[in-house]
Each structure stands twice: as structure tokens, then as C-alpha cells.
Amino acid sequence: MFGENAKSVSESDVVFSSRIRLARNFKNYPFPFRMNEKQCREVIEKVKDTVFSTSYAAADSFRFYDISSMDPIERQAMVEKHLISPDLAAMQTLSGVIISKDENISIMINEEDHLRIQCLYRGMQLDRAWENCKRIDSMLEEKIDFAYDNSFGYLTCCPTNVGTGMRASVMLHLPALVMTGYIKGILDACSKLNVAVRGIYGEKSDASGNMFQISNQVTLGLTEEEIISSITNISSQIIQQERTLRSELYRQNSYRFEDRVFRSYGLISNARILSSEEAMKLLSDVRLGVDMGIIKDVDIDTLDEIMDITQPANLQKITGKALSAGERDIKRAEIIRDRLRHRPNT
Amino acid sequence: MLCQLCQKRVATVHFTQIINNNRVEMYLCEKCANEKGNMNFISPLSLGDFLSGFFSTDIGDSYIATPDVNTRCEVCGMSFNDFQSTGKIGCNNCYKIFGDRLKPIIKRLHGNVEHIGKAPSGFSDSMIKTTKEIEKLKEELNRAIQAEEYEKAALLRDKIKELESRSSGQ
């Protein structure tokens, strides 16, 4: 889904993805929630003009989507793929998004701020994500006057984002820390370090499938590089602990460990009804088995794809019609069986 | 999470009772909670309430009627009260008009009110920024040396040199 395979990126046994998001606003327009329809439209057009008519070499690799004209399932499908935020999907007013063909870069228009520039890569690649955000930011800056203040930095609708306007986050898969209960200590430590911990779909979501997103809370008074290095440092400590626990758990009782992993593999490859929650739980076990080299005939890319396409909205998009929860659970099980049977490397 | 009493409905209420000085906490559905507590629940704290609590300026000035309490931003029409109840700022100009009152709030949020990161290219006070960044890097360098992280220290030293030569060239 991120256009490169998992084995080629660093720390991908624990780090699912890395993301940088920049909040930017036009100087000459009120922030989105205080704009009228005409202003909303103008902002969208100006951003489109800048991206598509610029001398910017890669302009043709971007595509614009009008969020306002999309139905709720299409919007939710984009949220599930992490291309847009839940807040953008919920917008009642005119809004849109420009997404790169490889789906690594998205520029959300008229969310809480006029612009939210997001770069997402798999594995530990915050630096790369920042380089790309910076490039897009500078490209937009050539044509658009951003709201900026010498002291407060980039001005944002919510004062929690002023300054750099940057949120750096990594998504970590932490099954061993959860199994042993040590995760609680990690969460406590993070809150003391001003680092936010959230579930897989960002704010207000649960940590389903043992996936945790950690991100900076402070955006002002630090350089972007400092923010990135603090998130990188904290994650690398968590990664280290997760790895140690994984091998310790395996060493202590390898039969039990393998049993758990293979049971989940057996279940997920054969079940006829799978709720989203159960699928995420089983996928987490199978992912752990693959990362530890216990399960050898599935690759992480297949698991990533399964995780994406079996979320409720994407499932309905693939099927091409609205499904009830019960129908979804059957369809989900069917797709997973199918994907696991047609593994690329068997 | 299911209600800890009936195990059937989803728990929506965090129920705390003090019995003989012991604190008992339960997660209950609304029905069980009502039966158990036999009382009306105060509706859960709304986001607006939460924000207005957080974004209120210090007690001192919130009780003294300041003359500019009705000041509205001439660009977007926002008043400071609007901000306190929504947590959202209306536009670029609001930051200028309400800057003095926003400062303590921003300081509380970030521990800081001086931006030192990336700036739009037109903003050429980059001299000051470079100086600030050099100071920061020097601090980091000291920490790295103390922690005997010499590789990191060498990188930092090079970065400082680069910035210093750049700022003197300006």
C-alpha cells in the first residue's frame, strides 16, 4: 500500500509507519470554520492552482479529490488508508484533498486548518517524511502567503499546533509489551515526556491490533529536527523493549508462543465469519509470527494489504455496495482466506 | 467495554463511590448506574466545557471586567469569549488582536512562546533564528560530550560551524 515492500525499510518488524503532518493557513482568509462558501471555494482553487499549474516537476503525479462530493463510505475508505484525517472526512463544508499517485503525500484542504500537508511512509522514515513535507511546504509558499508570526511561528486554528505546525508520529506494533502488561509503564512514561499515545486511526480511536501511534504534543519552541529526533529516540527505546520481550517470551516458552501464533494463523486462514476486531487481533498474532520468523509462508506486505482492505468502508468499496455488519464479517473472512491462499511467495 | 454489573450493555458511565473511606470505581451502563446510584447523572463533560476550563486566562482577569471584553476581530468577527468556549482561533488577525491574552495560554501549552523552526522564505530575521539555533546546538553539544556520545558531538560541532559561517556571511 505504501509502494515499497516492508523488508526494504528499517525497523519494520515493530514500526508500521511514520508520518509527518504540517498545519498551514492562508494569511488573507479566516480559518476554515469561519469562512463562507465562496471563501472555501477560493482556498481550494488557489491550492489546486499552485500544485497543478506550478513549474513543480512532479505536478502530474498528484490528483485532486473533492471531499464534499464524496459519499460517507468513500470518505471513510480514505480514512482507513490513512490518506485523510477523520476530521476531514466529517467535514460538512467544502473541502478537498490532493493525493500523490504513490499515496505517500496528501494535502488536505479546509480541514481545521486551510492546509494539512501529510507524508506517510512505512517503517521508520520520519526524516524522509519531513524532507518531503518541507519540499511541498516550500513549493506552496512560493504562491501562497501563509499566516506567520515572528514569535508564534506558523499560526493555526487551534493554539495546540502553532509554531512549527508539525506533528511527527510513528505507528508501532507492540504485542509483547501488551501481553506482558509492560505497555502501561510505557504509556505513563510517554505522557510524562509530553508524547501523545493514540490508537491506529488517530485521535479518539482504540489501540486495536496492538497498534499504537506515538506523537509529539509540543509544536512551538523546538525545531522540526528536534521534534523528530525526540520521537525517534523515544520510539527506538520502545522498539528495543518490544524486541527484548518478544525474544524473552519465546525463549521462556517457545511451544506456547508458537501455539498462539499458529492458532491465530489457522483461525484467520479458515474462519467463515470475522469481525473487524477479531481480524485485527488475529492479524497482530500472525504479524508477530512472521516478524519472529516463526511463520515463513506469509509476508508482511500481504498482512498490510489485508489490514487495509478489510476495514469496514474499504470492504464495502471493494464489494461495490453497502453491507450490514453481519455481511461484512462474512465478506471479510472470505477476502482474508483468498489473500492468504494466493500468497505471492508460494 | 461492557457494563461491569449487567455484562450486557456497553459501559458509558464511570461510577465512583466512596464506601467506608474506600474508593470503589466501576464502569457501568447508564441503566445500571441509574439503579445503583439512584441519582441523576451530570452529563459527561462536553468538549466545550473542557476547553473553556483549559483556555481560561488566570482567575485574576476573568473576574475583573476588562474594558475590551467585547472586542471583536475586525476580520473574522471572533471575540475572545468565542475562543474560550470553542478553543479555536478565527484568523491570522486574531493572533495580533488577542496576542497578549493568547501568550500565557500558548506558554502553558508549549512551555514556550518563541518559534525557532522553519520560517517562510520572506521572513528574513533568520539571523536571530540562526543565533538561537546555534545556542541550542551548543547546549546539545555539551550534553552529548557529557554523555560521551562523541559521534553525535562531532556531528553537532560540524553543524554549529556551518551555521556560524552562514550567519557571518549574511
Query: Could you tell me if A333 and A230 lie in one domain?
Result: no
Q: How confident is the model at residue B67 (pLDDT cuts 50, 70, 90)?
A: very low
Query: Could you tell me if A218 and A111 lie in one domain?
Result: yes
Query: Could you tell me if A52 and A123 lie in one domain?
Result: yes
d(CA A210, CA A246): 14
Query: Could you tell me if A133 and A280 lie in one domain?
Result: no
Query: Could you tell me if A215 and A314 lie in one domain?
Result: no
Q: Which triple of cell numbers denotes residue A167?
A: 506533528
Query: Could you tell me if A99 and A228 lie in one domain?
Result: yes
Query: Could you tell me if A259 and A235 lie in one domain?
Result: no
Closest CA to B3 of B19, B17, B15: B15
Query: Could you tell me if A43 and A133 lie in one domain?
Result: yes
Task: Report whether pLDDT(B162) > 60.
Answer: yes
Nearest CA in chain B to A30: B91
What residues contact residue A161 under an 8 Å CB cut-off, 6+ apart? Answer: A23, A113, A167, A219
d(CA B82, CA A202): 27
Maximum Cα–Cα distance across chain B:
76
* A188 located within any domain: yes
**The length of chain A, given as a count of residues:** 346
d(CA A63, CA A61): 7
Query: Could you tell me if A237 and A283 lie in one domain?
Result: no
Q: What is the pLDDT of residues A94-107, one digit of tens each?
A: 999 999 999 999 99
- CATH for A47: 3.30.590.10
Q: Which single residue is written with the C-alpha cell 508520529?
A: A169
Task: Report whether pLDDT(B44) > 80.
Answer: no
Tell me, what amino acid is at B31?
K
In chain B, the DSSP E strands lie at 13-19, 22-28
How many separate domains does chain A show? 2
CATH of domain B1-44: 3.30.60
CA distances in angstroms from B86 to A24, A121, A178, listed in the order given: 20, 33, 36
CB A63 within 8 A of CB A101: yes
pLDDT at A218: 94
| A150/B110 Cβ within 8 A | no
Question: Across residues B89-118, what is the average pLDDT?
Answer: 92
pLDDT at B112: 82
Q: What is the pLDDT of residues B14-39, one digit of tens each?
A: 666 666 666 667 777 777 776 665 44
Q: How far is B111 from chain A (nearest CA, A)?
A: 8
Closest CA to A127 of A219, A231, A35, A38: A231
Name every chain A residue with its beta carbon within 8 A of the beta carbon of B78: 34
d(CA A7, CA A4): 9
- Substitution target in B56, B89, B125, B152 with the highest count of A β-carbons within 10 Å is B89
Encode A229-254: b = buried (16+ Cβ within 10 Å), e = exposed: bbbbebbeebbebbbebbeebbeeee
Tell me, what amino acid is at A204?
K
Single residue among A209, A243, A277 that ends a domain in this structure: A243
What residues contact residue A81 under an 8 Å CB cut-off, 6+ apart? Answer: A1, A103, A308, A314
**The length of chain B, given as a count of residues:** 170
| A156/B115 Cβ within 8 A | no
| Lowest mean pLDDT segment, chosen from A49-53, A305-309, B40-44, B117-121 | B40-44
pLDDT at A187: 85
Tell me, what amino acid is at A172?
L
Q: Which triple of cell numbers denotes residue A112?
A: 481545521
Query: Could you tell me if A263 and A337 lie in one domain?
Result: yes
pLDDT at B40: 41
| A166/B92 Cβ within 8 A | no
Query: Could you tell me if A238 and A267 lie in one domain?
Result: no
* A248 located within any domain: no
Which residue segment(s) compose the domain that A166 sits in?
6-243
- Substitution target in A26, A34, A111, A195 with the highest count of B β-carbons within 10 Å is A34
Mean pLDDT rounded to a whole number for chain B: 74
pTM over 0.80: no
CA distances in angstroms from B119 to A108, A199, A298, B44, B92, listed in the order given: 21, 32, 46, 41, 16
Touching check for A134 and chain B: CB below 8 Å?
A: yes
| B106/A159 Cβ within 8 A | yes
| B123/A164 Cβ within 8 A | no
* A249 located within any domain: no
Single residue among A198, A213, A243 that ends a domain in this structure: A243
Strand arrangement of the beta sheet that strand A96-100 belongs to: A62-66, A96-100, A105-109, A115-122, A15-24, A166-173, A211-216, A195-198
Single residue among A216, A243, A270 that ends a domain in this structure: A243
Q: How many beta-carbon pairs under 8 angstroms link A with B?
A: 113
Where chain A has pLDDT below 50, the residues are 1, 345-346
Question: Across residues B121-126, what is the average pLDDT?
Answer: 64
| B136/A158 Cβ within 8 A | no
Task: Transcribe A63-104 into DSSP letters.
Answer: EEEEGGGS-HHHHHHHHHTTSS-HHHHT--SS-EEEEETTSS
Maximum Cα–Cα distance across chain A:
65
CB A158 within 8 A of CB A203: no
Query: Could you tell me if A289 and A220 lie in one domain?
Result: no
